[in-house]
Structure 1
Amino acid sequence: MPTSHRNPTVTDSANVVRARLLAMIEGDALPADGRLPTERELSDSMHIGRRAVRSALESLLAEGLIWRKQGKGTFAGQPPDKTQLLAAEIVGETNVVEVMEARLCVEPVLAAMAARHALPEDIDRMRNLAQRIVQAGDSDSIELWDGALHRLIARTAKNKPLLTAFSMIDEIRGNQDWRGVRQKARSMRSLQDRNAEHVEIINRIEAGDGPGAEAAMRKHLTTLADNLKRILTPDGG
């Protein structure tokens, strides 16, 4: 009997697209902002129908590995919450030190709650993002992946009011005028030291150790806050 050759189904093709997209997300194939090519660009470059491309993207979207911004495109990682307008109103009335104080109030608690809710796939995503920070070749990329990791931890806590508070702080934290100050604060310590702190936070979350995750996040943010204060008040005043 002649051998039959089954034509690939949409599902087969979608799995191929998904594998290639995951390789792009986990590798160095994306620009600094994490933006993915359009559906048409993916379809043309992979020689696969747009229906399969769309199916693969929907799968990744459902898993929280990508997100979409209206009119801007599709991006790797976790999206910010929709608190931009309120944050924009507050940004001119606060400063870097106040924002760090707010982060210290909110993020350690979120890390503790994440330890109660994190699934294995959440931990895998956290470790992937932590690795992207280490592999980043410039300060903008470090900022991108660092923010994505902290957002993922906040979302994993599964507490909407606290997530909203975090998201507003995170949006304010993204102020362009403050970015240079944060970069100087980060440069006061090695990337390896910061990565060790991220790994410790993730390890505690994976172990379901709420108090340990809270303490690890507090230590991480306190070090950054202390460095910011040194930069802003170099005379100690």
Structure 2
Amino acid sequence: MSVAANPLFSVDPAQALRQTLLHGLQNGRWAPGERLPTERELCERYGVGRSALRRVLREFKASGFIEQTVGSGTYVAERVRERLPPRPSAASAISPAELMEARLLFEPLLVDLIVSKATAADFEALEECCRQGEAAPTLAEFEHWDGALHQRLAEATHNAFFVSVFQLATEARERGEWGLLKQKSVTPERRARYQQEHRALVQALKQRDADTARQRLAEHLANVRLNLLGRV
């Protein structure tokens, strides 16, 4: 199913691509004078149409970020670093692959604290995230409540360090590249599976069953990484 045909997708492809390419230039993914991938390669890599890509490239050319030569290609402008806006935050340097790698190691560590410290209000907040995610009419809204649920997991530890670390993960999820990958990877069937996994995780936590909750969380994150990046 294409992105355009899926009613779950409401993220603007051009806006998401703009943010992703901008972060790439800011982080030095492409050096001044370096040739960018072809239009076909960029469209395939980020799952966007050629019209959206060309609109972004026109904006970048007008801003002095890139230069285009007929018959040769698109190149990063030599003085691009003078013209780029400031990097917004540390989260901009975190790739989706790095984020998922860290989450697979980090989030299961929260379980013991949640089981021992979470209150009835914490569990109700987790349940509310599940309900809102299931009712969300668009992928963007589902993604919001998906992120909110995982943030609530950190808050249920009642540990300020874990909460602050997870806020960085939340910022990284809000970047354009994450949204593009979600567009390409999330189908209605996968979304339904994520919702079931969320419910199963919350149920195990409410039962104070740390071993089962840890296993369910690890399996959920592994499924997300497989669907998002194509590897476990």
Shorter chain as normaliser: what TM range? Answer: 0.5 to 0.7
Counterpart residue number, 1:113: 113
Distance 1:159 1:121 in 2: 16
Q: Which amino acid aligns with 1:228?
A: L
Percent of counterpart pairs with the same letter? 24
| Number of residues of Structure 1 aligned to a counterpart in Structure 2 | 145
Distance 1:89 1:114 in 2: 29
What RMSD, in angstroms, separates the aligned Cα atoms of the two structures? 2.0
Is residue 97 of structure 2 the alignment partner of residue 97 of structure 1?
Answer: yes
Residues 98, 189 of structure 1: alpha-carbon distance in 2 compared, 3 angstrom cutoff: farther
Counterpart residue number, 2:172: 172
Deviation at residue 92 of structure 1 after TM alignment? 4.1
Q: Which runs of 5+ in 2 are unaligned?
A: 1-86
Distance 2:154 2:185 in 1: 23
Is residue 193 of structure 2 the alignment partner of residue 193 of structure 1?
Answer: yes
Distance 2:220 2:167 in 1: 19
Residues 227, 121 of structure 1: alpha-carbon distance in 2 compared, 3 angstrom cutoff: same
Deviation per CA, 1:176-226: give whole Å up to 9, x if none. 232121233232743321111001110111011122212111111110011
Counterpart residue number, 1:82: none
Distance 2:180 2:145 in 1: 16
Deviation at residue 171 of structure 1 after TM alignment? 1.1
Matching of residues 50-61 of structure 1 within 5 Å: none
Distance 1:168 1:190 in 2: 25
* SS of residue matched to 1:190: helix
Deviation per CA, 1:57-114: give whole Å up to 9, x if none. xxxxxxxxxxxxxxxxxxxxxxxxxxxxxx9443443311111011112111123321
Matching of residues 8-47 of structure 1 within 5 Å: none
Distance 1:184 1:114 in 2: 33
Q: Which runs of 5+ in 1 are unaligned?
A: 1-86, 231-235
Q: Which amino acid aligns with 1:120?
A: A
Counterpart residue number, 1:203: 203
Counterpart residue number, 2:213: 213
> Are the counterparts in 1 of residues 117 and 158 from structure 2 also a CA contact under 8 Å?
yes
Q: TM-score, normalising length from structure 1?
A: 0.56
* SS of residue matched to 2:186: helix
Q: Which runs of 4+ in 1 moved over 4 A?
A: none
Q: Which amino acid aligns with 2:122?
A: D
Distance 1:105 1:170 in 2: 16
Distance 2:92 2:148 in 1: 24
Is residue 194 of structure 2 the alignment partner of residue 226 of structure 1?
Answer: no
Q: Which has the higher contact order (CA 8 A, sep 6+)?
A: 2
Distance 2:145 2:196 in 1: 15
Q: Which amino acid aligns with 2:181?
A: V
Counterpart residue number, 2:146: 146
Residues 153, 91 of structure 1: alpha-carbon distance in 2 compared, 3 angstrom cutoff: closer
Counterpart residue number, 1:181: 181
Is residue 136 of structure 2 the alignment partner of residue 136 of structure 1?
Answer: yes
Distance 1:221 1:215 in 2: 10
> Are the counterparts in 1 of residues 91 and 168 from structure 2 also a CA contact under 8 Å?
no
Q: Which amino acid aligns with 2:134?
A: V
Q: Which amino acid aligns with 1:116?
A: S
> Are the counterparts in 2 of residues 186 and 224 from structure 1 also a CA contact under 8 Å?
no
> Are the counterparts in 1 of residues 134 and 195 from structure 2 also a CA contact under 8 Å?
yes
